Chain A
Amino acid sequence: MYSREVEVKNKTGLHARPASDFVGLAGTFDSNITIRDVNGDDDPINAKSIILLLTMGFGKGTVVEIAAEGEDEKQAVDKLVALVESKFGED
């Protein structure tokens, strides 16, 4: 199990294209990956699910924890954190 926290900084948040990019990248790893709002009460959700990700609606300013468990857990979390930090090419 490996996890890191990161703040969502792009304008749209994890919606629309950014959400789709995020899920697309998450799907390339074998590990089970979850994401949750560190300041919220909700359970972590499957980070490979576009539906769940959209339902959570992580907006700009949300601090999320991305966690993974499996062979490629470290790589998965680091890459996903980097994607969020890149602001998905916005701005």
Chain B
Amino acid sequence: MKHRGTSVSEGIAIGKVYKYIPFDPEINEKFISSSEVDENLKLYKETQEAAEAELLDIMDKMAETDPENAKIFQAHIDIIYDAAMEEEIIHGIKSSLHSPEYAMKVVYTQYIELLSKTDNELIRERVTDMKDVYSRLIRNWFGEEDRNLSLLTEPVIVLAYDIFPSDTAVMKRENVLAIITEIGGYTSHSAIIARNYKIPAILGIPDAMETFKDEEFVIVDAIKGDVYVKPTEDQIEQYNSERKAFIVKQQEVEQFISVEPITSDGVRIDVNINIGSSEDEEFVIEEFTDGVGLFRTEFLYMSRPRLPTEEEQFEAYKKVVEVYGDRPVIIRTLDIGGDKQLDYLELPKEDNPFLGLRALRLSFDMMPTFKTQLRACLRASAFGELWIMFPMVGSLGDIRFAKKIVEEVKADLTLEGIDFDPNIKIGIMIEIPSIALMADVAASEVDFASIGTNDLCQYLTAVDRLNPTVAEYYQSFHPAMFRLIGNVIRAFQAQGKMVSVCGEMGGDPLAATMLIGLGMRKLSMNASSVPAIKRLITQINIHKAERMARTVLELSSADQVENFLKSELPDV
């Protein structure tokens, strides 16, 4: 039986589940008598001190190994003694005769709610710290031992509803084979920690806490995002060898991060990365890349409870273009709809969201929001090499209308005397078959294009890529994909226009070989794929890739294509 979540840190693990359940008792309304006030105030103070003592102990242990992160716990101590919260808790005990644990619950709940509502992302992140501190106080109030992840005595797969910073900080890395959680996604705290420590992690498995049993033996395939319970002998054997192969390959491949991506016959291929924010985490391998092939701006919109302001967007875009200097940064305008929603927009529910009011169509529908984003892009273009790209373009009309809006925004900025790059490059995503088939016409209207292979495959094969019951029909190696992509590349190159690919295929060595064979010279991928793709580039030659591409265009099924590529490239 297999359960699916989101793989946020690649790898494979096989082992026993350790169900991590933080102490979380139900706190009910409870009162004390006025004669018990002094005693309870004292007990509250002792609880604070006990919690502080634990934190000081953690900080001591971390001072040597991880002084930077030890600071988080000083912040936790500050929260324990926060003047306003402390005052309100004491007031609750003294005046409302709340029992201390109930007083703490009332006040912490109220402050956590208050912080969750602010529109400053950094402050909202503090909510996790507040929850963490609250759990610590309550546990100490009940005199429960700290059952944290530093106490793991053998290598296990940690299963949790969610993981707090204090959990990961004290976690014994060598005893954590993998992490699986019920909530969280690519940018959540646990995901970042897992990637930093190179721990395989799958987050967001629905009902994970109920599905998996403590001590149960499971296989975690954090490449695909699957957890197998009750695996068969065959599966265990298969995954054991896959795990070994993965580790060897990872070590081998990582050496390729800094090589120049030049084929064995001397052709330079541009290797770009896809990013989702302007956080420093995104820039770790920046120096080894030729630019940002795709800046997914929707995360700027998804990470706050309201639309980001022009200034917030401008700062984010400016930061990225400044880091990249004269290397291009392609900013894709808002791509909301389909599987990505913004709760605060309260968009009507659609029967077929992937075919609905999505991406550029939605931007056209929300003109002020669209113009705000374009203004931010244009302003940031004065600070580096910023290109603008529109998602979900289906027709020439879409392109012309989007360009007209850009011209209007440019005119506004000129009137206001605000600097921008007047020759800013404008491009489109190729992900709807109708525009892919009109690539020659589209190419004459834009400066560049990037092929979004995930959506192109979804629309070309008529398969909802999120519907698991039709997953087998989603064939990214369908020969039709390569025929269509080949046409797009030819059409753009015939007019001397830049074309790249930024979907999953750009980061898949087999597919990337095909794309290069079809003439693609610029690939964009997630950071984790860069070493493997650079390695591939240094090992192939254009002549061979072109020959393979010609063969593939003659094949008749996805299976044939995949088998052929695997037989030609046994090492990748």
Contact = CB atoms under 8 A, between A and B. Distances in A.
A51 B84 contact: yes
Given A27-B83, A57-B123, A50 B78 contact: yes
A52 B86 CA distance: 12
Interface stretch (B114-122, B475-483, B562-570): B114-122
A55 B118 CA distance: 7
A55 B114 contact: yes
Interface stretch (A3-11, A41-49, A65-73, A74-82): A41-49
B84 A54 contact: no
B82 A50 contact: yes
Contact of A57 (B75, B114, B120, B130): B120
A48 B83 contact: yes
B87 interface: yes
B129 to A, nearest CB: 10
A36 interface: no
B85 interface: yes
A49 B79 CA distance: 9
Interface string B114-144: 1100101011001000100000000000000
Interface in B67-126: 75, 78-79, 82-85, 87, 111, 114-115, 118, 120, 122-123, 126
Contacts of A51: 79, 82, 84-85, 111, 115, 126, 130
Interface residues of B, number: 17
A20 interface: yes
Interface in A20-65: 20, 23, 26-27, 45-46, 48-52, 54-55, 57
Contacts, number: 40
Contacts of A27: 83
Interface residues of A, number: 16
A46 B120 CA distance: 20
B114 A46 contact: no
Q: Which of B75, B83, B115, B118 has the most CB of A within 10 A?
A: B83
Q: Which of B75, B82, B114 has the most CB of A within 10 A?
A: B82
Contacts of B120: 57
Given A54-B123, A54-B126, A57-B123, A49 B82 contact: yes
A16 B78 CA distance: 12
Contacts of B115: 51, 54-55
Contact of B84 (A15, A45, A57): A45
B123 A50 contact: no
B454 to A, nearest CB: 38
A46 B87 contact: yes
Interface in B40-81: 75, 78-79
Interface string B294-329: 000000000000000000000000000000000000
Contacts of A46: 83-84, 87
A19 to B, nearest CB: 10
A45 to B, nearest CB: 7
A16 B75 CA distance: 10
B349 to A, nearest CB: 33
A68 to B, nearest CB: 13
Contact of A49 (B75, B85, B126): B85
Contact of B122 (A15, A26, A45): A15
Contacts of B122: 15-16
Contacts of A52: 84
A15 B82 CA distance: 15
A54 B120 CA distance: 9
Contacts of B84: 45-46, 48-49, 51-52
Nearest to A51: B82
A62 B235 CA distance: 62
Nearest to A45: B84
Given A51-B111, A55-B123, A57-B120, A20 B83 contact: no
A50 to B, nearest CB: 5
Nearest to B119: A57
Contacts of A54: 115, 123, 126
A27 B78 CA distance: 11
21 contacts: A15-B122, A16-B122, A20-B75, A26-B83, A45-B84, A46-B83, A46-B84, A48-B83, A48-B84, A51-B79, A51-B82, A51-B84, A51-B115, A51-B126, A51-B130, A52-B84, A54-B115, A54-B126, A55-B114, A55-B115, A57-B118
Interface of A: 15-16, 20, 23, 26-27, 45-46, 48-52, 54-55, 57
Interface of B: 75, 78-79, 82-85, 87, 111, 114-115, 118, 120, 122-123, 126, 130
